[in-house]
Amino acid sequence: MTTPSGGEYVHGTHRSEQERLSLMNKILNERTLAELAIREGDHVLDIGSGLGQMSIAIARRAGTGGRVIGVERSSEQIEKAVAAFRVSGLGPRQIDFRVGDATEPPLLPGESGSFDVCFTRFLLEHVPDPLAVVRRMVQAAKPNGRIVLADDDHELLKLHPEPSGFTEVWRAYIELYRRNRNDPMVGRRLVQLLHQAGATPTRNTWVWFGACSGNDMFEPVVNNLAGVLQGAAPRLEAEGLVDGEAMQYLCGVTLPEFAQRPDAAVWFAMSLSEGVKPAQ
């Protein structure tokens, strides 16, 4: 899929990708929400809102006086988000999902410069010009409004004992981001992006996640990782970055075996940085 702002979206929007996103949402939403510290009545812009689970969770925190606008490029994702919103029990004014590009969010007159919080998660790693997106977020925030960026730094993933062949494939996966003109390490640039976009950085952290054998989340997390790599396999092969058979073996045999080991562990972390729009 080609993005309007250039590059390719490494994950695609097929069903297995949507199931993967839902799992990641379950794992990460509570922790992200704790960091986001939404207040009653907040008006929030969620850029690259995907399946909308996080937007819905934010809207619950913002309450009936709050409002969330989710902007997402894929109409397929928006349809799923709207379906989830319809059964969420939230009121019709609490969320508005809009199809649009992160670099030109479809805001109505008066909306730009009005948001209490502008948020994005796992989007900046998929755009060729993350600074352009963060600039639009700063524009969209009200004076003293908060801009919260959360994204990946793919060097933070660790598996132990390291499954055979994993490092090579993970490096290839990281290289695919670069070939798509995206930054696989954008997580470490979040504070810098806030500064370059005119916000005052105020906070920087990692949202950590770890699991191990004997933990309920361990197998789903490893399977999710295999799913991420399998989803990218056609592109990785087409780019000549992996050998197809070795890739299938890693995803179909080595990683599932790793998931069953009694001594295995996995860690990853999502970078999260916050800034404030100067009052001027």
The footprint of ligand SAM (CB under 6 A) covers 3, 5, 9, 21, 25, 48-50, 54, 72-74, 77, 101-102, 121-123, 126-127
Min. distance of Cβ 193 from ligand SAM in angstroms? 15
Contacts of 268 (CB under 8 A, 6+ apart): 156, 157, 158, 208, 209, 210
Nearest residue (CB) to ligand SAM, 48 versus 231: 48
Q: What are phi and psi of 260, to 5 degrees?
A: -95, -5
Q: How far is CA 13 from the centre of its chain?
A: 14
Nearest residue (CB) to ligand SAM, 43 versus 126: 126
Nearest residue (CB) to ligand SAM, 45 versus 233: 45
261: nearest Cα among 173, 126, 159, 135: 159
Is the sign of the CA dihedral 80, 133, 272, 259 positive or negative?
positive
Min. distance of Cβ 84 from ligand SAM in angstroms? 12
227 neighbors 57 (Cβ within 8 angstroms):
no
Min. distance of Cβ 150 from ligand SAM in angstroms? 7
Min. distance of Cβ 93 from ligand SAM in angstroms? 22
Min. distance of Cβ 105 from ligand SAM in angstroms? 8
> End-to-end alpha-carbon separation of the chain, Å?
40
d(CA 48, CA 123): 6
Instruction: Take residue 133 and report the two structure tokens written for it.
Output: 């997106």
Residue number with the shortest CB distance to ligand SAM? 50
Min. distance of Cβ 81 from ligand SAM in angstroms? 9
141 neighbors 147 (Cβ within 8 angstroms):
yes
Nearest residue (CB) to ligand SAM, 10 versus 233: 10
Min. distance of Cβ 101 from ligand SAM in angstroms? 4
Nearest residue (CB) to ligand SAM, 135 versus 261: 135
Nearest residue (CB) to ligand SAM, 4 versus 244: 4
Nearest residue (CB) to ligand SAM, 6 versus 143: 6
154 neighbors 176 (Cβ within 8 angstroms):
no
Min. distance of Cβ 57 from ligand SAM in angstroms? 10
> Alpha helices of the chain — where are they, by DSSP H?
15-36, 53-62, 75-86, 130-140, 166-179, 190-196, 218-238, 244-249, 255-260
Q: HSE, CB side, 13 Å, CA atoms: give it for residue 238.
A: 9
Nearest residue (CB) to ligand SAM, 101 versus 264: 101
